[in-house]
Amino acid sequence: MPEPLRAPGVPSAQAAPADRLVFPPIVEGLFVRGLSGRVTPLLRQQLRSEGLDLDRPLLPAYSLETWIRCVALTAKALHPGESDEVAWRMLGERMIDGYRDTLMGRALLGVMKLLGPWRMLSKAQHGFRTSNNYTEVRITETGPTEAEVWLNEPGMLRYFKQGVMLAMSRAAGGASTTVDVRVFDDHCVTYRVSWKDAAR
């Protein structure tokens, strides 16, 4: 598959990199619930050294840098035979599986199932803001069952969010959903999201 084109970034105007925070629901969704029984003692120790102690109550927030380091460690540890892109995407999907079991996740995903894929995308910014303080979303409709979605996600998180959107679209009833990374740079990414269910 050809490498996606790279485009000039548009950094978030909402939060400077040092102020970007990730909140407990996404951390719980991935590490506590989504990966329950799969975090080895060695990985648990490595995560602790990076600022995520799974043997204590979760903190009110984690820096984006801490989150990136912890996801990177976990992708390597749990999916050593996969490319980085695939490993990060798989963790994004797993996070939604676990997030579904949290109080906030049950409420949010329950609503999305009623909305359908298109309206789920239209409310994506609200959904992402339950997990962090920085995500901005821009959506361009390109067809009745297709859209381009721009996110200000830095670096390899573009593939984690690819998995998140894939799992969320499926949860919203989008049959045969695909989420392709189309254009990206170090600060942002544009996806092509398509599905077969034409419900609006």
**DSSP codes joined into one string, 33-96:** IITTTT--HHHHHHHHHTT--TTSPPPS-EEHHHHHHHHHHHHHHH-TTS-HHHHHHHHHHHHH
175-to-130, 145, 166, 180, 199 alpha-carbon distances in Å: 25, 10, 11, 15, 11
Consecutive H or E run containing 159 = helix 157-171
Tell me what pLDDT residue 120 has.
76
Question: What is the tens place of the pLDDT at every residue in 71-87?
Answer: 999 999 999 999 999 99
pTM score, whole prediction: 0.84
Token pair recorded at residue 161 = 């969010």
Domain locations in the chain as residue ranges: 5-194
CATH class of the domain comprising 5-194: alpha beta
**112-149 pLDDT per residue, tens:** 666 777 777 777 777 787 789 999 999 999 998 899 99
pLDDT beyond 80 at 167: yes
